[in-house]
Amino acid sequence: MNQEQRRKLYEKGFNDGVETTQDYMVKALYGAAALAAHREFGFGSTRCQRLLNKMDQIVTEIFTSWEVIDKAWEECGLKIAFKDDPMEPFQKIEEEKKDETD
């Protein structure tokens, strides 16, 4: 096996690993959303399925992660900022929004 063949095998393995990890992460996030809706608001399987279908629609319609984050800011008044404050990654921004509209 030459160096080019090893490089191609490495890239294939790397890409397969990334794809598998992304698949599991997406499934885990959808599962967590369903569990949170069930535990916090008493959603049953029908409402959880409607929630997940709506999430899937939003993810499909909005092209980038930044757009989803901006929409959460605009429509829900939530700042999603894991790196800014890892201890409080979801912050209500009512005061900040009030300042912007004045």
Are residues 43 and 2 both part of a single domain? yes
Question: Do 38 and 1 share a domain, yes or no?
Answer: yes
Per-residue model confidence as pLDDT tens for the chain (102 residues): 888 887 777 787 777 776 777 778 888 999 999 999 999 999 999 999 999 999 989 888 887 888 888 888 889 888 887 767 667 777 777 655 444 544
Sequence-distant (6+) residues with CB within 8 A of 69 are: 80
Same domain flag for 71 and 89: yes
Smallest CA-to-CA distance from 48 within 35, 61, 29 is with 35
State the pTM of this model. Answer: 0.64
Could you tell me if 49 and 80 lie in one domain? Answer: no
Residue 72 has a pLDDT of 87
Three-state DSSP class for 43? Answer: coil
Q: What is the pLDDT of residue 43?
A: 97
One domain, residues 7 and 43: yes
If asked whether residues 49 and 21 sit together in one domain, one would say yes
Are 87 and 69 contained in the same domain?
A: yes
On whether the CB atoms of residues 80 and 69 are closer than 8 A, the answer is yes
Q: Which domain holds residue 12?
A: 1-55
Domain total of the chain: 2
Kindly state whether residues 94 and 70 are assigned to the same domain.
yes
The verdict on 38 and 75 lying in the same domain is no
Same domain, 77 and 51: no
The tokens of 56 are what?
């899937």
Separation between Cα atoms, residue 71 and residue 44, nearest integer Å: 26
